[in-house]
Amino acid sequence: MNMLETNNSIEKIAIIGMAGRFPKAKNLEEFWQNLRDGVESISNFTDEEIIASGIKLATLNNSNYVKAGAVLEDIDSFDASFFDINPKEAEITDPQHRLFLECAWEALEDAGYDSQRCESRIGIYAGASLNNYHFFDLNRDRVGSAQSYQTLIGNDKDFLATRVSYKLNLTGPSLTVQTACSTSLVATNLACQSLLNYQCDIALAGGVSIRIPQKQVIYTKKAELYRLTVIVVLLMLMLEERRLGMGWELLFLNVCQKRSQMAIEYML
């Protein structure tokens, strides 16, 4: 068998749907438009905005802090009734979980699939950043109670993928992936393997990271950064944020993948 025949015998994977939300871009169309037009997605914060986020005034006066960052819009907006989630449950659920669920549905819609009626096995491989939205309070959330368990499901990253599978009726593998900065890439790799091994027919893969509050200062050490500009500083910090416990700045991407031959047959 020559190289061409070997290449043709390898089953290929088609990307059939995508969804995403980014700083200053509510969808992929706006994201690509911003890239094309050179739109700066880093926002500079006023002292009033940072103080309103709970940062102390003394911190603002420290020259080692940079008053800029990436902000994702409408993280407090969520159509709870659409996903059959009551308002109280939605309120205590980490925004990372809420937005990931919405974008998972959007990615399937973009691919042209109704997961509630689709007979194909749809798998999901996903990861999230550190949750600092709702810390467990032993004085408020009684251990073992229904409320504490609901709080756990809505905030622990272990439930990210399985919660989406439950809400969207996905019957394929459901796996939460955590490998620091490479989480989304590893999730995509595992989704591809799952498709090639026939563990599922369609796969969702992606990651989500939202830092709360969004408008806050970033600490830098001038002695180490020398004369780097604020933008370069932020890019460097974003690469290190997983180590610092803040995660990538609001990167969210769901890729709906399917074996290419099945995708062609579906389109026909």
Structural domain including 211 reads: 10-267
Q: Tell me whether residue 86 is exposed, middle or buried, using C-beta atoms within 10 angstroms of its C-beta: 0 to 12, 13 to 18, 19 or more.
A: exposed
For the question of whether the overall pTM of this predicted structure is more than 0.85, the answer is: no
Between CA 205 and CA 90 the distance in angstroms is: 23
Let me know if residue 203 belongs to a domain: yes
Let me know if residue 3 belongs to a domain: no
Total domains present in the chain:
1
Let me know if residue 256 belongs to a domain: yes
pLDDT given for residue 166 in this prediction: 96
Let me know if residue 5 belongs to a domain: no
Q: Could you give phi then psi for residue 81, rounded to 5 degrees?
A: -65, -30
| Token output for 240 | 């290190």
The CA-based diameter of the chain, rounded to the nearest angstrom, is: 71
Let me know if residue 2 belongs to a domain: no
Is-contact 97 131, C-beta < 8 A? Answer: no
Is-contact 63 222, C-beta < 8 A? Answer: yes
CATH number at residue 79: 3.40.47.10
pLDDT tens string 174-222: 999 999 888 888 998 999 899 889 999 989 998 998 888 777 766 666 5
| Token output for 73 | 């819009």
Let me know if residue 224 belongs to a domain: yes
Cα separation of the two ends of the chain: 31
Residues near 226 by Cβ (< 8 Å), separated by ≥ 6?
A: none
Let me know if residue 170 belongs to a domain: yes
Is-contact 233 225, C-beta < 8 A? Answer: yes
Let me know if residue 102 belongs to a domain: yes
pLDDT tens string 23-35: 888 888 998 999 8
pLDDT given for residue 231 in this prediction: 42
